[in-house]
A and B are shown apart, each in its own frame.
Chain A
Amino acid sequence: MAEKNMAGEKSGDKAGGSTAVMDAPAAASGQLLSVMPKRYVPWPEDSDKPRIWIGMGTCGTAAGAEALKTEILAWLKEHSLEAEVYPTGCVGMCHNEPLVDVQVKGRPRVSYKKVSSKNLAQILKEHLVDGAASKRAAFGQLVNPDEKQEPYEGIPNFHDEPFFKQQVKIVMQRCGVIDYWSIDDYLATGGYEGLKRAVTMPPDEIIDEVKKSGLRGRGGAGFPTGMKWRFARDAEGTPKYMVCNADEGDPGAFMDRAVLEGDPHSLLEGMIIGAFAVGAKYGYIYCRAEYPLAIKILTRALEQARERGFLGENILGTGFSYDIVIKEGAGAYVCGEEMALLNSIMGERGMPVIKPPFPATRGVWGKPTNINNVETFANIAEIVKNGGDWYAKWGSATTKGTKTFALTGKVKRPGLVEVPAGTTIRALVEEIGGGMTLKKVGFKAAQFGGPSGGCLPEQFMETGIDYESLNTGGAIMGSGGVVVMDEYNCMVDTARFFMEFTVDESCGKCTPCRDGTALMLQILERITHGEGQLEDIPKLEQISGFTKANSLCGLGQVAPNPVLTTLRYFKDEVVEHIVDKKCRAHSCDELIEYVVMEDKCTTCGLCKPPCPTDALEWEKKQVAFINHETCIRCKACVMACPFMAIK
């Protein structure tokens, strides 16, 4: 199924993908397009100055973008050149950070990867002075079909690169493209057109379009968004609230951060349309405090939206009013659960409560409240603009549209990827992710859905990813984190790791979650320490079942998933830990016996001095030897060996 969609996307690419194609008439005339055009920032009419974009999302900055900016400005000054320098969000290529894009008038924008102070001057000189693009450092060029641009020779097309080729960007369409401080860039790339259309529609019709699109909650549970909006619209009581859950707490997931930082107005537009549809007057964005840059960018975006009349009183002159306040979280994973989140907004401990009543009838301050996740909202404007059927063209039978995945772990090209639902795990890991980092160390599992997800082994490679297929496998979609693991990752330790996280983050209100997770952690720790017993396996299964069935909120109900998938697919490994006291991944410290590989040891002796217990025995011109009686498995020798001869 995914392949069929992919083919549609490819032919769409060839068709040109100009912004004009997707504007309103297409949906209105009933002609459905399975084309999502690429976004380009149009060249400003009144300027000839070259433009430079620096990837300055959190990850770009982590990779050193701030220093690069200083250097770029200094270089420009030194060469008496003028250029516009913009910050932009994450385009998704974490593996190529820091990224710098350069464009001169009449030529395509060229994206440079892994820019450093070593090659920066060369790139700028070739591009801005010599009038050619630096082939060696270029990742690709973005040729805007709407403008007359003379492409550079020998530089690949950005969107044809393997990392991007299969991607369909709806949520991430502007991330890494536009200046994240600029509402004008947003407007120039089709922004707020969805809202303009929405305010001419009867609210019920908007909800019907969202229903038709098949959009389901991207926060993880996958509840149909249109239905949720219907409940909120039909609920009695005023004022109503439209709230965004931006408490992206799953370790290993960062797509919401990318949208918040890279395209904040797409979230606002989605929220405003939603508020109009359900009749909400106020809104909150609950954003985790770990995302300071996102909060800064959002704050500015809210001001801009108010200035331009998209937010606040009498929006677009329609008499409809809606305003949004940002609420900063204070660090609690459980606040991603909707009732906990609402309690936290109200200044209390973020604890879930028994449902019903659901937030749609009794939410924040006791009023009807609708909560959606960032990625869900970011889809709304395009759905309203192009129609629900347009969106439903993508995806699998049960999961429509696209899903953004944070692909990390042992793949060559980690990053954020947005693909139609139903894309196979193999396509994600091998074609987009470029395969495993280490050639000789094979794929072991893909972990979906964060701490409450599960690890799917090799046999699932051809499975199309959607809510149902992941559930069948024992994992969940969650927020879309995919951590790829290889043979060096121990599955028992992975289960233990997630359980440790859940124990930390369980709010403690209900016994099954609070005690069930703690008991499971105890058992898992015992096993990784080599003290496990075979009875532990049925015990784990029993506690898992109990915790799943009886926990109050989503956190506890899915917390046993990592344990259950480990037992289901990697039982051999668990048994090996218990019976043979062996960890095949060499990850569980207490089950490792380090040995020197004779064929690799050069007898250099570098491993001897770091050994704190003199367990490492070495004489000149002799292969080193490790005494297991005194070895404390501190790994000092492993780290010291330049030939990787100790394993």
Chain B
Amino acid sequence: MSAKTESQNKVLDFTRAIEIAESEFGSKGPVIRVLQAIQAEYGFIPPEFLPEMADILEVPLARIFGALTFYSQFYTSPRGKYVVKVCVGTACHVQGSKDILERMKTELQVGAGETTEDMMFTLEPVACIGSCGLAPLCLINTETAASVTPAKMAEKVHAIREREATTVAEE
């Protein structure tokens, strides 16, 4: 996967990223804001852009890297087309979210936080989405699946795989 990631990064055009960073030059506490904007634009934060960002903002690279690695919502590599978030908050935990996460790991053949080789799925355990009354729950991109079971989630993943397979075949 890493080879693929690198090749994808190489073709990235940093024009927008440079614009974002330049627009925040001199503003108060810009680091997180710029990282968020870059991630919104590219889907992740390309690490090779960070030295340039440091130059533009006139902020030490270490501080940018520090903030980047501190927060769980910043990603340094591209993510799958479908991000499967399994809530492992307390309410979901007592309702058996552990089994769901395990099932997803075997189903997708990835570990927590990883992306499948075909760049289709990213599996991500998250702590509390704030809908604990409907526990256990999962998110597939922005769509919420409430009161799920391991089997139900596996079905959903299968359905997406089939749908994707047919669209590829049609193309």
Contact = CB atoms under 8 A, between A and B. Distances in A.
Contacts of A606: none
A317 to B, nearest CB: 30
A223 interface: no
Q: Most chain-B Cβ atoms within 10 A of its Cβ — which of A62, A345, A494? A: A62
A451 B90 contact: yes
Interface in B12-32: 28-32
B36 A328 contact: yes
Contact of A62 (B63, B72, B89, B146): B146
A347 B29 contact: yes
Q: Most chain-A Cβ atoms within 10 A of its Cβ — which of B67, B126, B130? A: B130
B128 to A, nearest CB: 4
Contact of B93 (A64, A333, A497): A497
Contacts of B28: 346-347, 365
Nearest to B34: A347
Contact of B73 (A252, A257, A289, A346): A289
B132 A408 contact: yes
Nearest to A508: B70
B94 interface: yes
A94 B132 CA distance: 8
B120 interface: no
A286 to B, nearest CB: 11
A554 B129 CA distance: 23
A386 interface: no
Interface string B125-153: 01111111111010000001110001100
A58 B131 contact: yes
A252 B74 contact: no
A257 B31 CA distance: 26
Contacts of A347: 28-33, 67
Contacts of B63: 348
A330 B32 contact: yes
B99 A635 contact: yes
A639 B150 contact: yes
Interface residues of A, number: 58
Contacts of B36: 328, 330
Contacts of A95: 133
A254 B32 contact: no
Interface stretch (A100-108, A409-417, A620-628): A409-417
A544 interface: no
B91 interface: yes
Contacts of A447: 90
B94 A483 contact: yes
A237 interface: no
Given A249-B128, A330-B32, A348-B67, A63 B134 contact: yes
B127 A333 contact: yes
B53 interface: no
Q: Most chain-A Cβ atoms within 10 A of its Cβ — which of B88, B93, B132, B144? A: B132
B125 to A, nearest CB: 10
Contacts of B100: none
Contacts of B73: 289, 329-331
Contacts of B131: 58-59, 62, 94, 254
A476 to B, nearest CB: 14
A329 B28 CA distance: 16
Contacts of B91: 251-252, 408-409, 414, 481, 483
Interface in A331-366: 331-333, 344-351, 365
A507 B71 CA distance: 10
A481 B133 contact: no
A450 B90 CA distance: 8
B30 to A, nearest CB: 6
A289 B91 CA distance: 20
Interface residues of B, number: 41
B84 interface: no
B101 interface: no
A485 interface: yes
B133 A408 contact: yes
Interface string A409-429: 110001110000000000000
A349 B66 contact: yes
B86 interface: no
Interface string A93-118: 01101000000000000000000000
Contact of B133 (A59, A61, A351): A59
Given A252-B89, A349-B67, A489 B130 contact: no
B104 interface: no
A358 B127 CA distance: 29
A248 interface: yes
Contacts of B74: 330-331
Nearest to B146: A62
Nearest to A292: B142
Contacts of A330: 32, 35-36, 67, 71-74
A344 B88 CA distance: 24
Nearest to A415: B133
Contacts of A507: 70
Contact of A408 (B35, B66, B135, B150): B135
Given A62-B146, A290-B126, A344 B94 contact: no
A497 B31 contact: no
Contacts of A408: 90-91, 132-133, 135
A504 B126 CA distance: 11
Interface string A487-500: 00100001001100
Interface string B69-93: 0111110000000000000111111
A414 B129 contact: no
A86 interface: no
Interface in B29-70: 29-33, 35-36, 63, 66-67, 70
Nearest to A635: B99
Nearest to B128: A251
A94 B144 CA distance: 14
B30 A332 contact: no
B129 A58 contact: yes
Contacts of A63: 134, 146
A57 to B, nearest CB: 8
A483 B127 CA distance: 15
Contacts of A58: 129-131, 144
Contacts of B137: 62
Given A346-B28, A346-B29, A635-B99, A97 B90 contact: no
A351 B66 CA distance: 11
A22 interface: no
Interface in A428-477: 447, 450-451
Interface in A231-253: 248-253
Given A62-B145, A94-B133, 12 more contacts: A61-B144, A250-B128, A251-B88, A251-B91, A252-B91, A253-B128, A290-B126, A329-B71, A415-B133, A481-B90, A504-B127, A505-B127
27 contacts: A59-B133, A252-B91, A252-B128, A253-B130, A254-B128, A254-B132, A290-B129, A290-B130, A328-B36, A330-B32, A330-B72, A332-B72, A346-B29, A347-B28, A347-B30, A347-B33, A348-B32, A348-B67, A350-B70, A365-B28, A408-B132, A408-B133, A414-B133, A414-B135, A481-B91, A483-B94, A494-B94
Top 4 nearest A-B pairs by Cβ distance?
A94-B133, A251-B89, A347-B29, A331-B73
